Structure 1
Amino acid sequence: MRVLFAVSAWPGHYYPMVPLGWALQAAGHEVRVACAPSQTAAVTTAGLTPVPVLDGMDMVFLSRLRYLWDAQAGRWPYPWRPLHPLTGEEVTDLREFDFDRYVAEHTGQTFGALVRSFDAVVRLARDWRPDLVVHDPLATEGPLAAAATGVPAALHLWGPTGTHEPAEHGLDLVPEYPPGTFARWKVRGLDRDTVRHVIDPCPPELAPPTAARRLPVRFVPYNGPGGAPDWLLEPADRPRVCVVWGTSTTRMSGPRSFLLPAAVEAVAGLDVEVVVTATAEDLAAAGPMPAGVRTLERCPLHLVLPGSAAVVHHGGAGCAMTALHAGTPQLALTFAIEQALNGERIAAAGAGAHLPGHLADVPAIRAAVAGLVEKPAAAEAAERLRVSSSARPSPAELVDTLVDLAAGRA
């Protein structure tokens, strides 16, 4: 069987698909990954075969655009203004960016990039002739390639947010396009209601909302390449708390969202062992660390969390799901709708806590982490979720389901 993966230009969106790619290859199936050129190295490093033919707008720009749109509509909850989509500086006036003018001046350029991307993936699918397409929620190229070649498609979720979130959340993971966008390829509309199969890595307690057929799979963490120091394997003499920060948060939400220094200060004030993992840039920006704090540069999170009493992160699905896999209580400090939903749902399951970023000062973070470490309820709930997650079919077991789907036996 030939399986075409289609992925968006942000590694965290397709990292949950990597173990499935490994399982397909191990079972003797061929896998190709349609991606943007910027993702070639990451896909190759993950042991998969990239086909860098996709195009489109930068994910950071799209996020800034959405945040400013929300602010103009009165849905911006923070006491500061969002970033200008183009300059990355905090706007002085919400009307500083003219959406109508931007659309008028850039529609041709933007739509041209999309057409090139759509053309390329359809051409790839018609030439390579996959039996199945697997794609992340934002990679519209996936369902387009499947529809244009008449093969099934499966959307692979990356965490506790689903394809059919309630309207009040204001979150649509699956992009929508104007009517007629795909007529060039003889395909009708593609939106969340045309998604027929969803690969869901979440335990039932966190089942993301969807109207599609759910294909359960066990979450297997892939956090990028890297190793871990030997001391992580040694039992800690005090509860170990990990602090990890997402590189995308500051670029999308601005410098006031850089909570790494506050999180470290808060946790270092407790009687715990503190381990910080972040990029070299973020570690430098955080400044000198308190005495006794250990730092790791880009260490894969799944190597750090076993044996940890708690983890503090920005609410991204990769961090949240890796913590669930390890059975580690977690505190999410969030600045975006999806991350906030992740944090809220894990907190509602009892396995963690959630603080909106603008309310996450040092005392609040310290109190939340102390609650996770000192009270057994969070650890017990996190362990229940770990057990529930581990009972789901492995990626290797999902392969048989996908073979049936491709053969029309589903």
Structure 2
Amino acid sequence: MRVMCTVSAWPTHWYPMVAVLWGLQAAGHQVAVVCPPSQAAPVTRAGLTPAPVLAELDIAFLARLRNVFDAQAGAWPYDWPPPHPVTGAPMKAVAEFGYAEFTRAGAEKIARPVARNGRAAIAFAREYRPDLVLHEPLAMEGLLAARVVGVASAVHLWGPIGTHERDPAAASVVEYPVGSFAPHGAGAVALDTVGHVIDPCPEPLGPVVDAERLAVRYTPYNGPEEVPAWLLDPPTRPRVAVVWGTSLTAMYGPGSFAVPLILDALAGLDVEVVVCTSARDAAGVRYTRPGVRVVAELPLHLLLPTCAAVVHHGGAGCLMTAVATGVPQVVLPTGMDQPVNAARLAATGAAISVPRAGADPEAVRAAVAAVVGEPSYRAAAAALRRSNDDRGTPAELVGGLEKLAAR
């Protein structure tokens, strides 16, 4: 069968789908990944076939815009203003972003790309004639195209946020601006109208889903890189990974970069530290204490199995990779889906959440000491890993997807 998959311009949103797409290809099915041009190379490196026909929807702009709205409503938790939604530059006050600029930017960065993507996805589907369409929550043109051409579809979650969240804060994370889809006559194209959901989360993490749930094991893919030689040597002390997302500084401003704070916290512990962040952020880490290694773009599925704990921002990619590898976590949620991710993970006993807005070295140090030293956190993380391992593999999901396409 032919499978069409739509993805956004944010690699960590579609990385969780890679193993499922590999499984489909290995079973002899054709897979085309419909994507923006920026994702063509990453899709190719993942061993998949890109169809770069979508426009670039600026997700960082959407996040910064939401942050400005939060600041205007008094819900921005930081002592610096959010970055300018369009430029990403620091602002002295949110009033610097006015209504006229919002109107222009909204048309240029949201309305036009989304409308174009709807048309492009439908046109591709009509030519490609898929038997099944898969998409991630911020690539809803996949659902639109499936309805227009009359084939089955399923959305693939990237983490603990589900399709039918009751909490507005959780539901707003996966809202997609679908207003321009109405003229295509496909009905309401919204996440809570999907019929089938591929859920890679162990049950204790609890994404809220009211559609047919297709459970699958979370199988980490964090990009193609070499295994560095030093990673093959077992650590002589407990190894703690520090992972900071590539997008956070762009969305929340330079003040949100917590790696220096975390390193100050870990200085008082007898641990080895590996900082894993973007190349740009890694270049800005000035820390020379022995036992601290700073690396850029190291896939987490290679690093985390060697670690006693991981400290990170709460993004689903890092969180779920740590779940799959059974590593206790300390989460400093900054915004978007991260507070919900952190809360649901902490409720399992496998992590401690220290909100970024109030974090200080003492709180982070105490949290890391606890998850490394107290057996209950390791036991809870191991239980989550077993729960993940008990789910069917991506290869085993293929049969269910074949049946879905044949309905």
Same fold, TM exceeding 0.5?
yes
The answer to whether the 8 Å contact 2:309/2:372 transfers is: yes
Corresponding position: 1:112 with 2:109 = no
Residue 271 of structure 2 corresponds to 272
| 1:234 and 2:233 are equivalent in the alignment | yes
Is the counterpart of residue 63 in structure 1 residue 63 in structure 2?
yes
Asked whether 1:147 is paired with 2:141, we answer no
Contact residue 7 and residue 138 of structure 1 kept, 8 A: yes
* Aligned pairs (5 A) from 1:279-358: 279-358=278-357
Matches of 2:306 and 2:163, distance apart in 1: 33
Mapping of residues 32-181 of structure 1, within 5 Å: 32-99=32-99, 102-103=102-103, 107=107, 110-169=110-169, 171-177=171-177, 181=180
SS across alignment from 2:154: strand
Q: Distance in 2 between matches of 1:282 and 1:315?
A: 17
Contact 1:308 1:328 in 2 (8 A): yes
Secondary structure at 1:199 match in 2: strand
Kept in 2, the 8 Å contact 1:163–1:173? The answer is no
Deviations 1:233-291 (A, max 9, x none): 33322111111111101110000110111212222321111122222321221113312
Report if aligned partners of 1:313, 1:333 keep a CA contact under 8 Å in 2: yes
Report the AA paired with residue 117 of structure 1: N
State the distance in 1 between where 2:158 and 2:170 align. 18
Whether contact under 8 Å (1:265, 1:290) holds in the other structure is: no
Residue 217 of structure 2 corresponds to residue 204 of structure 1:
no
SS at match of 1:341: helix
> Which digits, 9 at most, give the CA deviation of each residue in 1:70-127, with x for residues without a partner?
2212222222221110122233222322246522675377433322221111010001
Partner of 2:401: 402
Structure 1 stretch displaced more, 213-222 or 189-198: 189-198
RMSD: 1.7
The CA distance in 2 between the partners of 1:190 and 1:32, in whole Å, is 22
Structure 2 distance, partners of 1:178, 1:318, is 25
One-letter code aligned to 2:137: P
One-letter amino acid of the counterpart of residue 403, structure 1: E
Compute the TM-score of the two structures, normalised by the length of structure 1. Answer: 0.95
Q: Does 1:366 align with 2:372?
A: no
2:84 aligned counterpart, secondary structure: coil
| Partner SS state of residue 291, structure 1 | coil
Deviates more, 1:212-221 or 1:165-174: 165-174
Question: Which amino acid counterpart does residue 55 of structure 1 have in structure 2?
Answer: A
C-alpha distance in 2, partners of 1:237/1:174? 42
**Using a 3 Å threshold, how does the CA distance of structure 1 residues 77 and 131 change in structure 2: closer, same or farther?**
same
* Cα distance in structure 1, aligned partners of 2:17 and 2:170: 25
Alignment deviations for residues 8-46 of structure 1 (CA, whole Å, 9 cap, x no partner): 110000000011111000000000000000111100000
AA matched with 2:236 = D
CA 392–228 in structure 1, closer or farther in 2 if over 3 Å, else same: same
Unaligned runs of 5+ residues in structure 1 are: none
Q: Which amino acid aligns with 2:284?
A: A
Structure 1 pair 197–99 and aligned structure 2 pair: CA distance change class (3 A) = farther
Deviation of 1:56 (Å): 4.2
TM-score by length of 2: 0.96
Please give the alpha-carbon distance, in whole angstroms, between the structure 2 residues aligned to 1:8 and 1:104.
22
Say which SS state the counterpart of residue 305 (structure 1) adopts: helix
Q: Matched residues in 2 for 1:105 and 1:239: separation?
A: 48
Q: Bigger shift: 281-290 or 108-117?
A: 108-117
Inter-partner Cα distance in structure 2 for 1:171 and 1:186: 24
Structure 2 counterpart of 1:263: 262
What SS class does the counterpart of residue 388 from structure 1 fall into?
helix
**Is 1:189 the counterpart of 2:188 in the alignment?**
yes
Task: List per-residue Cα deviations over 1:295-332 (Å, max 9, x = no partner).
Answer: 32211111111131100111110000000011000111
| Separation (CA, whole Å) in 1 of partners of 2:235 and 2:57 | 45
Output the amino acid matched with 1:247.
Answer: T
> Take 2:99 and 2:210, find their aligned partners in 1: how far apart are those partners?
32
What SS does structure 1 have at the residue aligned with 2:5?
strand
1:35-75 deviation digits (Å, cap 9, x = unpaired): 00011110000000000000143111111011111221222
Residues 276/183 of structure 1: CA separation in 2 closer, same or farther (3 Å cut): closer
Judge conservation of contact 1:305–1:326 (CA < 8 Å) in 2: yes
Shift in CA distance, 109/234, structure 1 to aligned 2, threshold 3 Å: closer
Q: How many residues align?
A: 407
In the alignment, residue 130 of structure 1 is paired with which amino acid?
P
**Paired AA for residue 7 in structure 1:** V
Cα deviation for residue 400 of structure 1 reads 0.3
Counterpart Cα distance in 1 of 2:184 and 2:266: 54
User: Letter of the aligned partner of 1:33 in structure 2?
Assistant: V
Matches of 1:390 and 1:119, distance apart in 2: 39
Tell me, which stretches of 5 or more residues in structure 2 are unaligned?
none
Q: Please name the residue that 2:376 is paired with.
A: 377
**Quick one: which amino acid aligns to residue 157 of structure 1?**
L
Query: Contact between 1:138 and 1:173, CA under 8 Å: does it hold in 2?
Result: no
Amino acid at match of 1:380: A
Whether the 8 Å contact between 1:268 and 1:274 is mirrored in structure 2 is: no
C-alpha separation in 2, matches of 1:195 and 1:174: 13
Determine if the alignment matches structure 1 residue 392 to structure 2 residue 379: no
Secondary structure of the 2:161 match is coil
CA distance in 1, matches of 2:375, 2:108: 57
Looking at structure 1, the residues matched to 181 and 280 of structure 2 have their Cα atoms a distance apart, in angstroms, of 41
- Letter of the structure 1 residue corresponding to residue 127 of structure 2: D
Report the CA distance shift for 1:307/1:101 in structure 2 as closer, same or farther (over 3 A).
Answer: closer
1:152-185 deviation line (CA, Å, top 9, x unaligned): 1101000111122223425424435576x33432
Corresponding residue of 2:23: 23
Q: 1:374 to 1:145 in 2, by over 3 A?
A: same
